[in-house]
Amino acid sequence: MKEKLFPYSFRSQQKELLEKIHDEIWNSNLCIHAATGFGKTPVILSGLLPYTEDYKVLWSVRTGNETDRPIEELKVINNQSSENFFGISYRGKRDMCLLAKEKELGGAPSYSDVSFLCRDQGDDCTYRKNLKGVNPESVTDDPLLYSEILEMSKNLEVCPYYLQRDLVPLADVISLSYNYIIDESLGWVIKKLVPFQECFLVMDEAHNLQKAASSLNSDQITLRTLTRSLNEIELLGEENPEKLLELLKLFQNEMKKSGRGVEEESELDMKEFLHSLIKNWGKDPLDFRLDLEEMVSYGIKIRRKHLENGEKPRSSLHHLGRFWLNVLDNLDVDGIVFLVKRERDTIAFESWDMRTAEILRDRWKKFKGCVFCSGTLKPIRAFATVAGLEKVKSCSIGSFYNSDKIVSFIPSGLTTKGKELGGEMARRYVDSIVKFSKEIDSNVATFSASYRIQNRLIEEGLKEKIEKDGRKFYQERRGMDGNLARRILEDFKRDSRNGNGQGFLCATATGRFAEGADFPGEELEGIFLVGIPFDRMSLRTELYLDFYKETYGDKKGMYYGYIVPALRRASQALGRVLRSRNDRGIFVCGDERYGDRRFFRLLPDFIRNNTKPSNFGRIGKDVRCWAEEILNKKE
């Protein structure tokens, strides 16, 4: 049945992967490395759907915005096979709550805001009341995308969030974000409806797990959090808790003391901080937790008052109490560190969780079987170790791109090694990038190793020189608004369709354009990487590597925590150009260190198999030669 479900003509290695899924899913964690465009989604779905009479498929993606893709593919499978599998794109309350959209709470409400609104309204919500008159089975004829569930709910005047929850037990495939799988506090939402042991799990773009897991238990407060909390106390009126005022002012003073002399960030001895604070407080340490819990309770009252006034239900007092309760729970946990930081005009305390395997190891055991897939999963052993996987079977599929249409260069004489990019080296980069850009008559992009390096190139005149050559210059900036980023992306792509192909995207390998953005065909045909996107060797990076070295040993700790993540970022950026066998690409890995065997072997095979010698003074000539061969060749 599995081969009959696959909705396309089989290409190289797709049928073999289908068989491997069938053979291995029952007894091991299956890790699949396959280039973007291979067709991982339809192959994996076709391999798992035959078993949906007894098991469901949970397809987990990095963000809610990506949940539609597997369901779109499920629709294709149904149309081609005459089967009637049902699936939904599952989203959180923030995206689904019609009441929150009606109330216009101001700006974009957070997940926490909308969840509080939902809990506060409960069964009094009109949309939830109306849901009682809807039979979920009546809307299961076809797989449903997020937008389709939302539109249907608007028409029926029912709650989209709780409608989708009623649909979960009826679905064969549920597509949702990572958070519902890796965050225990959210996982119960799904587990309550479909026991995980009755599910196959697919973790898409699984290379993101290392970063995603470490953000789960991380949080921070600032002196502004304290100031806002003190202001909120006044909102309580007659309930004004004097004892909390005393504790808040003490927190404020102790945080200021800890921040003295901190220029950027420093590790904080949290046990010593709390010992000093409680000593100055002068009360029984056992009362400290009770007062923090009371702080959270008062914060809930503040949130309710804001909601009654038509405002976002936010409370700094609530956040502050939750932060310190979390600190108390994690004081002795290996892999969680505490930092004091200077951020612009304030001091911040951060609780930072560096763990991955320790958090995730037991998650995977809850499922009947797991599939982990990505175009940058290699080296698979490193991924499996860091993700906490046991009983691993790997499947590494080589790229299917046409080597006659690809060339890459690793020029000598260029490197971003060192703490700063000096003037001479910055000018070499600018000169090389400008020459590279001149020789390609279609859209090109640079991905710098960091915003710091990107800024140095712009200081050395990169923007002016690119624009002087007639190209439009599009720059990604740190913290860029999502809507602005989408407009930049659309305008850049439009340049290729207008026939002049003169767009120049100046982005970073750590930014939003280096992963998740697709540039098929002539939308992007040249990439220049500026440096290797290692994490800056800050205190934070040193603490992270110390933890990894303690966990895995010095050599492997450095490899898992520093080298592999950097080369994955580089590989993700390089992968923006190629999506099909017909796509063409010219690549410059602009740092001579890419030629080092340690790093070279971690680059994508389409780079390794098509690399030519070059140096910074010859890059323009080399690109011109190959551009004529590759980009101007008649099909």
Q: For 195-233, what is each residue's pLDDT tens digit?
A: 999 999 999 999 999 988 888 889 999 999 999 999 998
CA torsion sign for 235, 241, 245, 250 is negative
Least-confidence region, from 244-258, 312-326, 388-402, 499-513: 499-513
Q: In terms of domains, do 176 and 252 share one? A: no
Q: In terms of domains, do 210 and 229 share one? A: no
Q: Are 193 and 168 in contact (CB under 8 A)?
A: yes
Q: In terms of domains, do 513 and 617 share one? A: yes
Mean pLDDT of the chain: 92
Q: Provide the 8-state DSSP code for 461.
A: T
Q: In terms of domains, do 163 and 237 share one? A: no
Using DSSP bridges, classify how beta strands 219-222 and 346-353 pair: parallel, antiparallel or unpaired: antiparallel
Q: In terms of domains, do 162 and 188 share one? A: yes
Q: What is the mean pLDDT of residues 272-299?
A: 92
Residues 6+ apart with CB under 8 A from 400: 11, 12, 13, 35, 37, 38, 581
635: pLDDT strictly greater than 50: no
Can you give the pLDDT at residue 439? 93
- The residue that leads in pLDDT, 479 or 199, is 199
Amino acid at the residue 607? I
What is the secondary structure of 268-316 as a DSSP string? --HHHHHHHHHHHHTS-HHHHHHHHHHHHHHHHHHHHHHHHTTS----H
pLDDT tens digit string along 381-424? 999 999 999 999 999 998 889 899 999 999 999 999 998 899 99
Can you give the pLDDT at residue 238? 63
- Any idea what the CATH number is for the domain that residue 303 is in? 1.10.275.40
Residue 368 domain-assigned (yes or no):
yes
Can you give the pLDDT at residue 634? 44
- Any idea what the CATH number is for the domain that residue 82 is in? 3.40.50.300
Q: In terms of domains, do 611 and 479 share one? A: yes
What is the secondary structure of 545-576 as a DSSP string? HHHHHHHH-HHHHHIIIIIHHHHHHHHHHHTT
Residue 113 domain-assigned (yes or no):
yes
Q: In terms of domains, do 41 and 92 share one? A: yes
Can you give the pLDDT at residue 500? 60
Q: Are 320 and 225 in contact (CB under 8 A)?
A: yes
* Separation in Å, CA 72 to CA 67, 80, 382, 388: 9, 13, 32, 31
Can you give the pLDDT at residue 242? 82
Can you give the pLDDT at residue 499? 62
Q: What is the mean pLDDT of residues 494-521?
A: 85
21: pLDDT strictly greater than 90: yes
Q: In terms of domains, do 26 and 162 share one? A: yes
Residue 337 domain-assigned (yes or no):
no
Can you give the pLDDT at residue 1? 60
Looking at 397, 427, 449, which one is the last position of a domain? 397
Q: In terms of domains, do 273 and 302 share one? A: yes
- The residue that leads in pLDDT, 45 or 495, is 45
pLDDT band at 64 (very low <50, low <70, confident <90, very high): confident
- The residue that leads in pLDDT, 630 or 196, is 196
Whether the upstream peptide bond of residue 379 has omega within 30° of 0, thus cis, is yes
* Number of structural domains the chain divides into: 3
Residues 6+ apart with CB under 8 A from 616: 411, 412, 413, 414, 428, 431, 432
Residue 334 domain-assigned (yes or no):
no
Can you give the pLDDT at residue 632? 65
Residue 349 domain-assigned (yes or no):
no
pLDDT tens digit string along 49-60? 999 999 999 999
CA distance 520 to 39: 15
Least-confidence region, from 72-86, 106-120, 555-569: 106-120
pLDDT tens digit string along 95-147? 999 998 888 776 678 888 898 989 888 888 999 999 998 999 999 999 999 99
- The SS3 of residue 31 is strand
For residue 224, the number of C-alpha atoms closer than 13 Å in the C-beta half-sphere is 7
Residue 351 domain-assigned (yes or no):
no
- The SS3 of residue 632 is coil
For residue 501, the number of C-alpha atoms closer than 13 Å in the C-beta half-sphere is 17
Q: Are 414 and 386 in contact (CB under 8 A)?
A: no
Q: In terms of domains, do 256 and 305 share one? A: yes
Domain of 232, in residue numbers: 219-329
Looking at 344, 372, 397, which one is the last position of a domain? 397
pLDDT tens digit string along 148-189? 999 999 999 999 999 999 999 999 999 999 999 999 888 889
Q: What is the mean pLDDT of residues 428-441?
A: 95
Residue 352 domain-assigned (yes or no):
no
28: pLDDT strictly greater than 80: yes
Q: In terms of domains, do 97 and 233 share one? A: no
630: pLDDT strictly greater than 90: no
Can you give the pLDDT at residue 633? 58
Q: What angle do CA 628, 633, 635 make, to 5 degrees?
A: 165
Q: Are 359 and 216 in contact (CB under 8 A)?
A: yes
**Letter string b/e over residues 334-362, b meaning 16 or more CB atoms within 10 A of that residue's CB:** ebbbbbbbeeeeebbbbbbbbbbbebbee
Can you give the pLDDT at residue 125? 92
Using DSSP bridges, classify how beta strands 199-203 and 56-61 pair: parallel, antiparallel or unpaired: parallel
Closest CA to 586 of 454, 448, 446: 446
Task: Put the strands of the sheet holding 444-448 in their side by side order.
Answer: 472-475, 503-508, 444-448, 526-530, 585-590, 406-412, 611-615
599: pLDDT strictly greater than 90: yes
Q: What is the mean pLDDT of residues 495-519?
A: 85
- The residue that leads in pLDDT, 122 or 554, is 554
Q: In terms of domains, do 275 and 411 share one? A: no
Residue 459 domain-assigned (yes or no):
yes
pLDDT band at 540 (very low <50, low <70, confident <90, very high): very high
Looking at 339, 373, 397, which one is the last position of a domain? 397
